[in-house]
Structure 1
């Protein structure tokens, strides 16, 4: 819902609260493009039980759905580049000096995700682009080319039907192990300018239509992060200096809207008070041993105790007590 006031110089996107809000005890998985790192990081910072982008940054729906539903590795996708081994379905952050080491690491990661999904309340999937690279020899879609010569790949635009089919297969796989699992889709507000401005808009439009059609399912919802960036915050002051990625201010704004959508009113009140604690924890005193600062530390420890009912605060407690004399 969009509300416009003639006295305002912007149109604000007002979100509707989700029917089933997320709680601090709910396991939440984020996966996909770098925006899922941002949402995952915010959830973790605010004490939610989250596994944030454990398989690395992945941009296209086919690769995301394939990874999320995988129990094993495609052996044909291991490649050696510059003395290091990579896998074409994973981000380049996963590499090894030998294939066996990398294979062990990736199997552990897939197992970690599968076990987490068994008890998860929701998986947040951020889609980045509809463009993919296919291997010319096998016609397999890859998540990352790992600096292999471009002549080995062919770039193409995914079709709506093949993206939907890939999700339907994933949905069936995951609901078989966790029937109550919910899916939250977002389209990354980060523009893929290297594809071209018109091409990026085409790519994002396809993803948006995909999310709309998938969200007709009662276990699937859509969070409009993309629309917030493009239409609500439509000014370059909300971008980093590269003019592509959202600024910290924009990320915080979208996070606030995410809270309004997926957190209960009680959780929102708790998060508001927790924000004050976080600000206090980041305080750097001029004289750490002063009487005033020591009293400040003791007061913060007492305030922390209130939050122990909702989530683990031992790390913060230890941080404060370490400074006390």
Structure 2
């Protein structure tokens, strides 16, 4: 007897392995998946401008990457003793104007260079709601805690979302025509917008993505895909025990489960076959010895070094942290 429904997961390809290069852009769920990719030693770049919640902000980012845009003084502003940019998350805020401009321009350069060799791009859309700067009439990625009277809140229509997706994909393909693009909708609820408003927002995102995907199926491009992270969270994991304390974000157990299904769909067996060895190395690196100078611990370290050398022959990236040993 079944006590829950399961979201069908279809194997997709080309698969992600340790030679793949993955760009991740979007909401905080991108950070969750990105941390898993980091842990299992995949080559990835995520959110160079910090978390971007809505398709308009992502479009603005990719447009500037594709056009080799250079940020200047007119693009930043001083508020609450820090320099900000409406195109980026507050994690890029800086105490000096030059420092912020450097971060922004280096972020664009790094992203463009990475895209030139990228195999997969993962976009996670968080919300259809966005804020438009009243002065410029342009959408912002982040309001940076400025007075709300400076902004107008609007809901992206399905047509606008489709148009943004089209533009984003064209920007990417002008840099690298061979990459594959994977869309997801974040399972994080944006309840500050309101319960009904959050549902309207997610519905527009899902419909917009699938209208775009259906149009691409007609072309048979084989470039664009969808992974049902949102559907897994709200169908299979429809219980508050799978939420963090804020009752909004998925907890570690939910993230691990969604990652396991993502692995089934997208990760090559040659790569997932190394997960157990990588996990053992991480656990060994987290080990706290009673006596660092003991003979037993020195044997342990030699064995650990051997394991790291062996795994390094199979993967191009090696970001194992040894500093604590």
Fold conserved (TM > 0.5)?
Answer: yes
Show the counterpart of 2:219. none
Distance 2:238 2:103 in 1: 41
Corresponding residue to 1:137 among 135, 138, 141: 135
Any idea what the Cα deviations from partners look like across 1:149-196, whole Å, max 9, x if unmatched? 111111110011112112212222221221101111111111001111
Show the counterpart of 1:38. 32
Distance 2:178 2:155 in 1: 33
Any idea what the Cα deviations from partners look like across 1:105-162, whole Å, max 9, x if unmatched? 2111111111111110011111000001112233211111112211111111001111
- The 5 A counterparts of 1:1-325 are 6=1, 8-70=2-64, 71-72=68-69, 73=71, 77-216=75-214, 217=216, 218-312=222-316, 316=320, 319=322, 323=325
Contact map agreement 1:131 1:157 (CA 8 A) in 2: yes
Distance 2:9 2:152 in 1: 39
Aligned residues: 315
How has the CA–CA distance of structure 1 residues 74 and 229 changed in structure 2, closer, same or farther, with 3 Å as cutoff?
Answer: farther
Distance 1:131 1:39 in 2: 23
Q: CA deviation at 1:93?
A: 1.6
How has the CA–CA distance of structure 1 residues 75 and 133 changed in structure 2, closer, same or farther, with 3 Å as cutoff?
Answer: farther
Alignment TM-score, normalising by the size of structure 1: 0.90
How has the CA–CA distance of structure 1 residues 185 and 286 changed in structure 2, closer, same or farther, with 3 Å as cutoff?
Answer: same
Any idea what the Cα deviations from partners look like across 1:82-107, whole Å, max 9, x if unmatched? 23221111111222334343223211
Contact map agreement 1:214 1:220 (CA 8 A) in 2: no
CA RMSD of aligned residues (A): 2.1
Q: CA deviation at 1:295?
A: 3.0
- Structure 2 stretches lacking a partner, 5+ long: 217-221
Runs of 4+ in 1 over 6 A off after TM superposition: none
SS at match of 2:168: helix
Alignment TM-score, normalising by the size of structure 2: 0.90
How has the CA–CA distance of structure 1 residues 319 and 82 changed in structure 2, closer, same or farther, with 3 Å as cutoff?
Answer: closer
Any idea what the Cα deviations from partners look like across 1:205-248, whole Å, max 9, x if unmatched? 11111222233332111111111111111111111111011111
Contact map agreement 2:182 2:227 (CA 8 A) in 1: yes
Q: Larger RCO: Structure 1 or Structure 2 (Cα < 8 Å, ≥ 6 residues apart)?
A: 2
SS at match of 1:120: coil
How has the CA–CA distance of structure 1 residues 314 and 267 changed in structure 2, closer, same or farther, with 3 Å as cutoff?
Answer: closer
SS at match of 1:85: strand
Show the counterpart of 1:3. none
How has the CA–CA distance of structure 1 residues 152 and 247 changed in structure 2, closer, same or farther, with 3 Å as cutoff?
Answer: same
Q: CA deviation at 1:76?
A: 5.0
Any idea what the Cα deviations from partners look like across 1:28-60, whole Å, max 9, x if unmatched? 111111111111111111111111211101101
